[in-house]
Chain A
């Protein structure tokens, strides 16, 4: 143990004084709730009566609850569609928007603005766009160029012995289309991610790009061997944020489909919310919350482990 000098003690007091709002908030709004949540997850707790300890019963019940598994499957399926789509579109857009072309700042604004739209408003807008009878998307699919595209797609699907697509498509009313529709909609909001990539692209050393060009690397090789490795820490950051975000998806689907049709868009957080505040099964909901937290931590840990192989940090 090192003994504190009076100067050190003084600084400690001062430091803690400045930190005190956070320390109080951390205890009240985070540590205690997290601790309570852990305790509740082993309890039968309906809010109306005090929690009663029931051991692992909530977790055991979850393991055999088909709705739990369905909500988990829906969430992961959604993440598996929305994550790669968002990653590719935002990265592609950032690379395009980094080129010096006429109207660059207008293009950037147009891409960025949708990401500012409040979830409720974008949910209303996409409800209208996805509307089966009157929605803009289905009416556009009936115009000749898109109709030809769908005929081509159906021909391919036919060869693969898969069912064809028959417009009008029930984007939010057909269980097969509802999750892809929500993932498609999420791509509209990638603007903030694009801005992060654009900032990252400014940090790619010009000398490296010029040197590789002198060595005869073409644009594709420069992208693959210089730009992308240099950008990989930013890609990694965005990937983690996207994983955390998509595993808690709630508001958009809740407003647009309420989890339907036939629970096709019933997300993990929706079932958690319903257990807690509709069925008043607070203990059961807390067990779900812990599984969600562990899932997020596990996926983040996996991302970190693989990152050694593809994320390159610039040494300064």
Chain B
């Protein structure tokens, strides 16, 4: 019931970034636990048939996981970067496992349901991960902006601090990266759809 203590996660992250790889083993259950806690929250709401914007809530959840204040005195930027890439690994991994359980008889859960508002539809983290790799080949910084912002939950300013660029640059990178990634992902989907139909 009780959520993981921020310090614990922070300690583990620090240990991991210091090269103690077994920290990851202990970290993952904590993140998963937080995930399940959030999911319970959504289920309660979705049972009443509603979808809500709960970004604030999630940001808080993230803060609960990672207590950034603990690392203020350390190399903050380094720590942020590590957390974000770790979060990416854990979450994409998670998405992959759960999808393999889920994928059944070929009907793909609609990502572009009725053509409405892509952004609000379920986003496939594994597809995003692939697209992000492709972006990294083209423009590494943009891919890192996405990693920091989306996976690491960092603000524009924090991301700018990590990357040693201005927040303005991060904003521009973010905008273009989003358009690029979405195009990449939709394109891939077309390919899959065509494949399935043929």
Partners in one complex: no
